[in-house]
Structure 1
Amino acid sequence: MTRWLPAAALALACAAGPALAQTAPTQPLNTATLVELCGAAPTMSEAPATAFCRGFIIGAGQHHQAVARVAGQQPAFCMPNPGPTHQEFQAAFVAWGRANPQFAQESAVDGLIRFAAATWPCPQAATPARNRR
């Protein structure tokens, strides 16, 4: 799955114009790069980085949830209802990424899912009590 992400990022950059082309990564996207893009100051010149960040987060999250559902598996994370705003999610991911540099070289998808699983773990299914003697 992660093999098409750099090509998709580049295609998005080319389609969106020169401003995004200067922001979007052309190398395989790792967690550190996504944290950098998501942590860009919200100015007009950084708007493409923010748009790329949010689009990546939403797409990766929806894809993970859909794949887990189709596979009949519990997802790695369970968002609360109501969930955080895009800005809150983005800020929390950036803070997590900066606090966890050991995951910087993981693929961006892996780092993002690791963050979400640590932040919003799914409730564990109750297991039957063992017969204690």
Structure 2
Amino acid sequence: MRFVTTLAGSLALLAVTIGGAPAQTGAAAPAPTGPVTTGNLATLCAASLNEEVGHASQAFCRGFIVGVGQYHTEISRPGGRPAIFCLPTPAPTLEAAQASFVAWSGANPQHASELAVDGLLRWAAATYPCPTAPARGARR
């Protein structure tokens, strides 16, 4: 529980930092002001590094992806919850996963208003499905 509290505090600090930068520079930041939605996250992930707030947007995006991925790994260990997604070996790069999420989000606008964690897990489940075991008694 302490980890979740620390993670939430770190993300809040990052959001404040991202939100504060435009006031100092005059640029408009895409940082969300309320709950982070799938659409917000995709916008942050799609930010160009050439934009004034691009580095902060990309850092937020990648931190969010890594955080959700690590949390998923921890809760889906043996004896835990069933895995929602299964990464291939070798695993995709963070940049490749980020680009894939942005593309998926654009192709699935019906999920834009969902919480980002839900949209990210929907994307991961669709992109990296877990192998299914044959049903008991099924013929091979």
Match of 1:19 among 18, 21, 30: 21
Counterparts of 2:105 and 2:87, CA distance in 1: 19
Where in structure 1 are there 5+ consecutive unaligned residues?
A: none
Equivalenced residue count is: 129
Equivalent residue, structure 1, for 2:66: 58
CA distance 1:64–1:20, shift in 2 (3 Å): farther
**Alpha-carbon shift at residue 113 of structure 1 (Å):** 0.2
TM-score, normalising length: structure 1: 0.82
**Alpha-carbon shift at residue 19 of structure 1 (Å):** 2.9
**Alpha-carbon shift at residue 106 of structure 1 (Å):** 0.7
- 2:82 is the alignment partner of 1:80: no
**Sequence identity, in percent?**
47
Contact 1:6 1:25 in 2 (8 A): no
CA distance 1:106–1:14, shift in 2 (3 Å): closer
Counterparts of 1:107 and 1:30, CA distance in 2: 4
1:84-104 deviation digits (Å, cap 9, x = unpaired): 111110000000000000111
Pairwise CA RMSD: 2.8
Match of 2:134 among 111, 117, 126: 126
**Alpha-carbon shift at residue 14 of structure 1 (Å):** 3.6
**Mapping 1:14-53, distance limit 5 Å:** 14=16, 18-19=20-21, 22-43=29-50, 45=52, 46-53=54-61
Where in structure 2 are there 5+ consecutive unaligned residues?
A: 24-28
Contact 1:10 1:26 in 2 (8 A): no
